[in-house]
Amino acid sequence: MCRQLAQSNLDLKISFDTASNKEGNQRIISIKDNNIIMNNIINELKKYKSICFYPSCGTDLSDIDYFCSGRLPREERNKEDAISEAWHGDFDEPEVFVHSDVNFYMEFESGEDLDLSECGIHGKFEILSFEQLENIDKPNRINGNFPYSGQCFKYTLKVWGKEKPITLIFCLCENEYIVSQIFLSNKINLNYIWSKNWNGGRTYGTWLARVSKKIGVRLFYTDWLCLPGFRGEPSNSIVYEKYPELLFEEDSKLERTDNHWIEEGAHGWVDEFIVK
């Protein structure tokens, strides 16, 4: 299990020295300062100009691993002697990574023992600070609301030896809620969407691909599960019943680029798509 990524509501100062993963590769793990500060997620997100969103993330941090490595493909990131490349491309490097899931409360809530090798991080990793943000009140319309639903946690991280920190925000809520009520309603545009292994359950990720242009997305990273019209696309009727604001007459289009083999999941490789 990935180490739980948050602390209890106590003002703590914790530090961990360099640890080794199962392969014996050393990773920097340290929490320098841990404070619970109740900030509003909307105000928090408006601080950043480049946002990457990862719906139904589970405990996976492969989006952070990819971007912070300088966008190395998976096989390159897996090498023991892999070195982060300089950022390249026409778009801004993500400053904040927003992850959402309705489950994994224990992993989100506690931050005592992060096992980076099981979270998808291959480079050096340092936790600079942690905050609990203001709760979102009863965010789920499709799934039930539990005592932990709506909790949000913020981390400031240094990954792959980068000097510039990045921010990671976990939200325990439906993907549909955060898109409609946080991004769309508050005109918070995204630069990137990262989706891997979105198995569905009651909803499927194709609705997100269809609205991606409406929230400013320029590059969409996904396996086939989020591609509209591919392999028998589900209707997602419950999404549009509970979140009618996500139904638009004109769909976004995804055009595959030559950037392949980015990340491998249970449903094939994650590829890069331009949003049209």
User: Which alpha helices (H) appear in the chain, and where do they start and end?
Assistant: 41-45, 62-68, 74-77, 105-109, 175-177, 206-211, 237-242
Chain segment 115-130, per-residue pLDDT in tens = 656 788 888 888 888 8
What is the per-residue pLDDT for 147? 92
Chain segment 62-97, per-residue pLDDT in tens = 999 999 999 998 889 988 888 888 776 666 889 999
Q: What is the pTM of this model?
A: 0.84
Residues above pLDDT 70, as percent of the chain: 78
Query: How confident is residue 177, by pLDDT bands cut at 50, 70 and 90?
Result: very high
Q: b/e per residue, 54-85, with b = 16+ CB within 10 A?
A: bbbbbbbbbbbbbbbbbbbbbeebeeeebebe
Query: How confident is residue 222, by pLDDT bands cut at 50, 70 and 90?
Result: very high
| DSSP letters for 166-189 | EEEEEE-S-HHHIIIIIIITTT--
What is the per-residue pLDDT for 119? 81
What is the per-residue pLDDT for 216? 96
Chain segment 240-270, per-residue pLDDT in tens = 999 999 998 788 999 999 998 899 887 789 9
N residues, the chain: 276
Distance of CA 65 to the CA centre of its chain: 11
Residues above pLDDT 90, as percent of the chain: 50
**Beta-bridge partner residues of 131:** 154
Residue type, 138: K
Sketch the domain layout of the chain as residue ranges: 19-275
Token digits of residue 227: 């591609």
Chain segment 25-75, per-residue pLDDT in tens = 433 333 333 343 446 899 999 999 999 999 999 889 999 999 999 999 888
Token digits of residue 221: 């990273």
User: Which alpha helices (H) appear in 130-236, and where do they start and end?
Assistant: 175-177, 206-211
What is the per-residue pLDDT for 221? 96
d(CA 78, CA 72) in angstroms, rounded, equals 10
Higher pLDDT, 158 or 23: 158
Higher pLDDT, 37 or 110: 110
Distance of CA 212 to the CA centre of its chain: 15
